[in-house]
Amino acid sequence: MSAPTTEKQSEKILFSRPKALAEVLTNYCPGCSHGIIQRLVAECLDDLGIEGRTIGVCPVGCSVTAYDFYNCDMTQAAHGRAPAVATGIKRALPDSMVFTYQGDGDLASIGMAETVHAATRGEKITVIFVNNAIYGMTGGQMAPTSLPGQVTQTSPYGRDVAAAGYPVRVCELLSSLDGVALAERVTVNNPKNVRAAKKAIRKGLEYQMEGLGYSIIEVVATCPTNWGMEPKDAFEWLADNMLPYYPLGVYKDIKAVGGSAAVADEVGNG
Amino acid sequence: MAEKVLMKGNEALAEAAIRAGCKLFFGYPITPQTELAAYMAKRMPKIGGVYLQAESEVAAINMVYGASAAGKRVMTSSSSPGVSLKQEGISYLIGADLPALIINIQRGGPGLGGIQPSQADYWQATRATGHGDGQIIVFAPSTVQEMADLVASAFDLGDNYRMPVMILADGLLGQMMEPVELPEPLGDAALPARPWALTGHHGQRSHQVVNSLFLDAQELEDSIVRRFQRYEQVRKNEQRAECYLTEDAEVVAVAYGAAARVVRSAVNKLRQEGLKAGLIRPISLWPYPVDVLEHQVGISKAFMTVELSMGQMVDDVRLAVAGRRPVNYFNHTGGIVPTPEEVAVALRRVLAGEELHIVPFHSKLKGEQQ
């Protein structure tokens, strides 16, 4: 929890558990990106000093048990319904800070209607969208963001776009909506990108604090278990395959000139 | 005594909810509950409340879930096909022990059905509110006044037992106008505390969680058993029914909501003819008023439900009567409301010892009406 006290002036704590992150074991697989991303969210809650007025919403997916991982108030939501639940909380308690933590199946498939409408209403919530191109919790089925040709349990011959359609680019889709304050895609495959991801998450929360509208931070992430890869290989696969399809960058920033920025030049694995 | 005003049932439900401290309404347009949402859209902004038209029934009930988790009195309203869509969210409300008021102004089904009055959602309300083990309290008003009165009870019981409550009415009650005396508005200070709510811990307490997930089977069983212990208290304490001319009744009709209004006329007609007919009108459909029926078994020779469905509540009467007396049913469905004359003929035949069956009976009955 809190940083250990030190007697020596020369000792400096460089790394400790964020205060907002509960001291419990997570149920994530080894090498999974969730650990990094949830830590970043917790660090931002600490940095902004908002844990005490934050309520998190975690819907169905690998992240559903995240209600135990944060020290702020938390609720679990039905599959895809986190934006609606978050809307109810935020409308009931306008001074609270509300974030959802949603996977790709949850946000872009079963919860697409809730996502689009919370976004277009400009709900003052911050959405952390973890896109790992697969259904993790149920064991590796094709997701709305699975890449063309990607082999999954339910696309055993590779995603055939003629039959299964094309992957959804969520930030691009949502960036056309007036209610969106921030739509940014980041990843966590190296320290530089991890720092950029944290900056984006913090910005999303700050935009909520300023009442600017809906913010979404899409984190392109890995699922080594269901991709059938070592964690290091998974990050390489992410850089080689996912980032070309899901370019990193700011897709909408209400504070940028014209309100919407072009795709940032930082495309690729950074 | 407050002044009586002439209101539609749907509007009375809305105004009574506001007076009971409901500050948030989430809904989706559907006939025949329209006036309720329209009333809320007008009133909520004036009292600092929230009216939000959701993108779907599914979203609306999940917004209710969020607002309830945040500790507020909250409601939604819909009609039969819309309530089907809400069942997922109702199951989660049950599983997370969250109170909420759900209004169902029933119309005909299945499928898109029709928009005329119906009582065909009895099973859905009392047996099938989403997946899993669980119940909700269900109230069935039969007048506009009772619609207004039951709203406050619904919120209070929801808070008390930490469970969703449904007011199951129909298009007839929702759209008819009657004089109604509204309760005095409840101040925020009068609302029950919700110490379990997610309000942000503000450094004052440890974090709280609203959740319906228990991956450990024993934990899940324990949580369900605890909930069912609460249901036992509900069954014991919250049965409600009106008994009309039942003390000496040889034949008793059991009917709720709009159907009960028709039956009351039929009973009056039979009494004028010297026949001992009575009416039991369940007001709580869950918990079902089994105690009243148990008492009546010792008095009456036969029972008959009158329903605007193919006969759903009749199951509960049969369970309560448990084979000790014949239990018949008379119905119309699809939006047709029976006439008092039809019901009177049916009751007379039940009293004469006849067993009534549904559809064929209708065609035979036509020539016998007086």
**Segment A72-97, tens digit of pLDDT:** 999 999 999 999 999 999 999 999 99
Q: In CATH, what number does B4-188+212-237 get?
A: 3.40.50.970
Give the confidence band of B293 by pLDDT, cuts at 50, 70, 90: very high
| Nearest CB neighbour to B209, from listed A67, A86, A92 | A67
In residues, how long is chain A?
Answer: 270
pLDDT at B1 > cutoff 60: no
Q: Tokens in use for B243?
A: 């008994």
What are the φ and ψ backbone dihedral angles of B286, each rounded to 5 degrees? -140, 120
For residue A127, CA distances in Å to A47, A136, A181, A198 come to 18, 19, 11, 13
For residue B195, CA distances in Å to B71, B192, B210, B233 come to 8, 9, 12, 21
pLDDT at B215 > cutoff 50: yes
Contact A77 B65 (CB under 8 A): yes
Question: Which chain A residues are closer than 8 Å to B203 by Cβ?
Answer: 52
Give the confidence band of A270 by pLDDT, cuts at 50, 70, 90: very low
Domain B241-368, classified CATH 3.40.50.920, yes or no: yes
Mean pLDDT in chain B?
95
Q: What is the mean pLDDT of residues B325-342?
A: 93
Question: Which chain B residues are closer than 8 Å to A57 by Cβ?
Answer: 66
pLDDT at B5 > cutoff 90: yes
Total beta-carbon pairs less than 8 A apart between chain A and chain B? 140
Q: With an 8 Å Cβ cutoff, is A146 touching chain B?
A: no
Q: In Å, how far is A225's CA from the nearest CA of chain B? A: 20
Residue of B nearest to A55 (CA): B200
Tell me the torsion sign for CA atoms B117, B120, B121, B126: positive
Which percentage of chain B shows pLDDT scores above 90? 92
Spatial contact of A234 and A222, defined as CB atoms under 8 Å apart: yes
Residue ranges of the domains in chain A? 34-253
Q: Which of A86, A204, A202, A155 is nearest to B59 (CA)?
A: A86
| Per-residue pLDDT at B128 | 85
Query: Which top CATH class is A34-253?
Result: alpha beta
Contact B74 A96 (CB under 8 A): no
For the question of an ipTM over 0.90, the answer is: yes
pLDDT at B352 > cutoff 90: yes
Q: What is the mean pLDDT of residues B200-217?
A: 96
Q: What is the mean pLDDT of residues A198-203?
A: 98
Sheet containing B24-27: give its strands across: B50-53, B24-27, B74-78, B100-106, B164-170, B137-139, B284-286
Which residues of B lie inside 8 Å of A (Cβ-Cβ)? 23-24, 26, 50, 52, 54-56, 58-60, 62-72, 74, 88-89, 92, 96, 198-204, 206-213, 215
Question: Which chain A residues are closer than 8 Å to B69 by Cβ?
Answer: 75, 85, 88-89
Q: With an 8 Å Cβ cutoff, is A70 touching chain B?
A: yes
Q: Report the relative pairing of strands B284-286 and B209-210 from DSSP bridges.
A: unpaired
- How far is it, in rounded angstroms, from Cα B280 to Cα B276? 13
Question: Which chain A residues are closer than 8 Å to B71 by Cβ?
Answer: 92-93
- pLDDT tens digits for B86-128? 999 999 999 999 999 999 999 999 999 999 999 999 999 999 8
| Per-residue pLDDT at B71 | 98
| Nearest CB neighbour to A88, from listed B64, B96, B207 | B64
- How far is it, in rounded angstroms, from Cα A19 to Cα B257? 55
Question: Which chain A residues are closer than 8 Å to B55 by Cβ?
Answer: 113-114, 116-117
- How far is it, in rounded angstroms, from Cα A261 to Cα B1? 63
The conformation of residue A241, written as its DSSP 8-state character, comes to I
Contact B200 A76 (CB under 8 A): no
Give the confidence band of B363 by pLDDT, cuts at 50, 70, 90: low
Residue of B nearest to A53 (CA): B200
Q: Tokens in use for B286?
A: 């869950």
| Per-residue pLDDT at B2 | 72
Residues 6+ away with beta carbon under 8 Å from B182: B2, B5, B12, B15, B16, B19, B148
- pLDDT tens digits for B44-84? 999 999 999 999 999 999 999 999 999 999 999 999 999 99
Spatial contact of B73 and B21, defined as CB atoms under 8 Å apart: yes
Q: Tokens in use for B241?
A: 């029914």
Q: In Å, how far is B38's CA from the nearest CA of chain A? A: 19
Helix (H) or strand (E) holding A56: strand A54-58
Residue ranges of the domains in chain B? 4-188+212-237, 241-368
For residue B160, CA distances in Å to B32, B139, B165, B343, B370 come to 30, 16, 11, 39, 49
Contact B66 A75 (CB under 8 A): yes
pLDDT at A205 > cutoff 90: yes
| Per-residue pLDDT at A7 | 56
Spatial contact of A216 and A174, defined as CB atoms under 8 Å apart: yes
C-alpha atoms less than 13 angstroms from C-alpha of A164 in its C-beta half-sphere: 23
- pLDDT tens digits for A116-174? 999 999 999 999 999 999 999 999 999 999 999 999 999 999 999 999 999 999 999 99
| Nearest CB neighbour to A75, from listed B69, B72, B89 | B69
Contact B198 A55 (CB under 8 A): yes
- pLDDT tens digits for B253-287? 999 999 999 999 999 999 999 999 999 999 999 99
Spatial contact of B75 and B21, defined as CB atoms under 8 Å apart: no
pTM: 0.94
| Per-residue pLDDT at A164 | 97
| Per-residue pLDDT at A269 | 42
